[in-house]
Structure 1
Amino acid sequence: MATLADYGPEARAEVKQVREVVATLHEQLVKWNLVVWTAGNVSQRLRTADLMVIKPSGLRYEYLTPSSMVVCDLDGNVVDGSESPSSDTASHAYIYRHMPDVYGVVHTHSTYATAWAATGQNIPCGLTMMGDEFGGPVPVGPFRLIGSEAIGEGVVETLREYPKSPAVLMQNHG
């Protein structure tokens, strides 16, 4: 199994930078009430190697640091980190493998998005700013169980139907 030492100096330098960014973005999730307890996460794909940085599983946000972030390959195998990666790692990795132009995934459980996702209906494009940002409605993807590639598959399938949207709500999830 590969370790971070197996990657070149550019990738190792980028990992350091991305760990800092991903840790800071998790602080923003809490600041803006987009997550509760440990539910939700951010990951970022590297530009210099087929690696991603993601939050460790079950670690509360207030304890996250750049060094606690986990580095995985795009199959979800841990390359560097002392913690287990998020239970959503396989889904994030699936998205990165199937959408090579995507370099970041944000998974939240904000109150309003989660409530709307429970309806199983797209958020209609009722404001010009929504049209500008999302290119139409915010789609709702299929319900999928956590802990595998299933959510990632649902996200990719949904974004193929709504290629202008940078967001997907997952039915009965968030």
Structure 2
Amino acid sequence: MMEYEKEQVVRYGKKLIDRRLTTGSGGNISVYNREQNLVAISPSGLDYYETTPEDIVILDIDGNLVEGKNRPSSEAGMHLAFYKNRADVSGIVHTHSKFATAIACMGWELPAVHYLIGMAGHRVKCTGYATYGSDELAKKALETIGDSNAVLLANHGLIALGEDVDRAFSTAEHLEFVSEVYYLTKTLGTPNILSDENMDEVMKKFGTFRYR
């Protein structure tokens, strides 16, 4: 069941480690097959390089276990909330990447210090704090993200959405770069932030433009 989606979760889990977007078994990945109404999600607590397609958990959109011997990621509820409420999303990547997490630990939003933020939106907002894996965190993330493709989770990390997992991963990776640039520019002085009008043009080119 869902062999292609399982293989994608395994593949992108390894890329999380390779691209230094998390450590250990931190973060999580899911892929939603809208035709089957099923979600393939990474298991809880397994090393990404030891995870096989047989370890991936299959849930229905209400969170019921359909297939798998492992516990699903502790953030399964947050993934499902996005899939239920965002018809444009079929892949989700949650990272504990260093610079994005640092911004989240400050409780700051990530502004348009570099045009590549346009993969997510005009800015990336930050939720209020809630315990990992909780319904409260899922609710805060959904309320905060709006129609953006990413949101910072206070004192926790980043979650990125995409029309597929490749797009979600690319967004997460580019936002880590933007977060590092923001960190560096803050150490130099006051960053020059692009205007909404500047970002409108960027997002039209990216194909991510949405009217504010």
TM-score by structure 1 length?
A: 0.84
1:141 corresponds to which of 111, 127, 145 = 127
- 5 Å-filtered alignment, 1:1-174, equals 12=1, 15-130=2-117, 132-160=118-146, 163=147, 165-174=148-157
How far apart, CA to CA, are the structure 2 residues paired with 1:66 and 1:111?
28
How far apart, CA to CA, are the structure 1 residues paired with 2:137 and 2:15?
23
Q: RMSD value over aligned CA atoms?
A: 1.3
For 2:63, give the aligned amino acid: G
How far apart, CA to CA, are the structure 2 residues paired with 1:134 and 1:92?
17
Q: CA deviation at 1:18?
A: 0.4
SS of 1:141's equivalent in the other structure is coil
Gaps of 5+ in 1: 1-11
1:127-148 CA-to-partner distances (Å, cap 9, x unmatched) read 2332x32331111122111223
| Equivalent position of 2:168 in the other structure | none
Q: How many residues align?
A: 157
How far apart, CA to CA, are the structure 1 residues paired with 2:62 and 2:136?
14
Q: CA deviation at 1:80?
A: 0.2
How far apart, CA to CA, are the structure 2 residues paired with 1:23 and 1:56?
10
Alignment CA distance shift 1:31-1:47 (3 Å): same
For 2:110, give the aligned amino acid: I
Q: CA deviation at 1:41?
A: 0.7
How far apart, CA to CA, are the structure 2 residues paired with 1:88 and 1:129?
27
Q: CA deviation at 1:75?
A: 1.8
Gaps of 5+ in 2: 158-212
1:102-137 CA-to-partner distances (Å, cap 9, x unmatched) read 11111110111111101111111022332x323311
For 2:114, give the aligned amino acid: L
Greater share of helix residues, 1 or 2?
2
